[in-house]
Amino acid sequence: MRSSIKFASVHKIGLALLALTISLSAYSGTRDGGGGVAVRCADQHGSSLQLLDLYEGKARGLTFGMSPATDLEIADLTADVLATHYWNPWTVPLPQYKDSLKSSFILGIITGKGFHNYQTNKFVSISYVDSVPLSNDYGNYYIRPNCHLEQVAYFDDVQSTIMIDKKLWNELDGLDKAALVIHEIGYFEFRYIGLEYAGTGVQGVISSERSRQFTSSLLSTQGLMPKIFGVDPHYFMSCYGDNPDGQKDTAFFAYDSDQGEVTLVVSDNNGFFSPYSERVKIPGISTNDLLSQAPSSFHQKQRVSLVGEIDAPTFNLEITKVSNSGPTVLITRMFGNYELPIGEAQTMNCNFNHPANP
């Protein structure tokens, strides 16, 4: 199996472990990286500050647990939440994944020591400053009349610097600080490889609304379904597209259910990615039927479910197989009554895997 598609262990670690190190310094022309925005509300007792993500989450009925108190507790919470959500058995073992996540960049942000950008091979500095400019990418939002927005963090991609308002950062509680780190990871994904914007032509110029929704849902006590929920890490089927351009592969895990159907857990969609768990149910077949040497033949088109996403776009997965060949998969997006492929159809190579150290 090609290394680039081990459920894109490089790609997925790049998103879950190094998404912020990739940051916007890899993309010239935009200086606004969508740093976190907070809401300040005043009442007769004074004022309070909360990241917009969590403020909106509470308005949606989400609840949140105890806030971590120390920098180490903030880093532990952030690493645990991200690793639990993104980890898959084609990466390093989960404990190592969490530790790498924490040490590679989370603590570098929280402590102000900075981190290395593995995409540009540059060091990204963290600069605590007296103020940062308010971004213009927050999109639609609603806050109470006695509240207003204040910018906590701002990315300067030219200088390879993350500027953080030191007064506002210190005023945030630990949960809001964890949310700020998670927000930037989700926002990077949505901006540049977000499945939700496939076919729209707006990569890089979107608002932070979806990232705020993702952040609040992930940190809430209600939580989100992990990306590979249902996949047995000790023995599983993985399928990857036979695409000469490894960065544009389609890939998924597959497992059998008791209902006589196969669940596809999609990892990559012709180079696009969603932070939500992407799932497709294919009735009437088993995982053995997906093997290239299997005599099975079938053709189905099924809806892709983005579990937990608000106002998720509509995607379909069309899968076709003829006897003794790998299945061909085409992913499409619906725009009203119009259906648009988000890439070319790919013939999949499916194999059962038994990792030594899941």
Q: Say if CB 214 and CB 62 are below 8 A apart.
A: no
180 and 242: one domain?
A: no
19 and 102: one domain?
A: yes
Within a domain: 140: yes
- Record the tokens describing residue 155, joined without a space: 């990315």
Within a domain: 320: yes
18 and 152: one domain?
A: yes
- Write the CA distances from 266 to 89, 101, 213, 272, integer angstroms: 14, 23, 21, 11
Q: Say if CB 83 and CB 103 are below 8 A apart.
A: no
Of the residues 176, 192, 219, which one is the last residue of a structural domain?
Answer: 219
* Backbone conformation region of residue 38, classed left if phi is above 0, alpha if psi is from -120 to 50, else beta: beta
Q: Within a 10 A sphere around the Cβ of 351, how many other Cβ atoms?
A: 13
| pLDDT value, residue 339 | 94
Q: 70-90, pLDDT tens digit by residue?
A: 999 999 999 999 999 999 988
Within a domain: 226: no
121 and 268: one domain?
A: no
| pLDDT value, residue 247 | 62
Of the residues 219, 250, 272, which one is the last residue of a structural domain?
Answer: 219
215 and 283: one domain?
A: no
182 and 257: one domain?
A: no
Range of the structural domain that residue 203 is part of? 3-219
Within a domain: 145: yes
Within a domain: 224: no
263 and 206: one domain?
A: no
244 and 179: one domain?
A: no
Instruction: Choose among 342, 128, 105: nearest CA to 241.
Output: 342
267 and 212: one domain?
A: no
Within a domain: 358: no
Query: Helix, strand or coil for residue 117?
Result: strand
What is the Cα–Cα distance from 314 to 332, expressed in whole angstroms? 9
212 and 277: one domain?
A: no
169 and 281: one domain?
A: no
What is the Cα–Cα distance from 323 to 294, expressed in whole angstroms? 6
Within a domain: 252: yes
Query: Helix, strand or coil for residue 275?
Result: coil
Within a domain: 227: no
Which residues are CB-contacts of 227 (< 8 A; sequence separation ≥ 6)? 85, 86, 87, 88, 265, 267, 275, 276, 277, 278
Q: 185-210, pLDDT tens digit by residue?
A: 787 778 778 888 888 766 555 788 99
- For the chain, list residues with pLDDT below 70: 1-35, 117-120, 157, 201-205, 243-247, 356-358
Of the residues 219, 246, 271, which one is the last residue of a structural domain?
Answer: 219
Instruction: Choose among 326, 267, 335: nearest CA to 298.
Output: 326
Residue with tokens 């992990």: 226
pTM over 0.75: yes
189 and 272: one domain?
A: no
Please tell me the total count of domains within the chain: 2
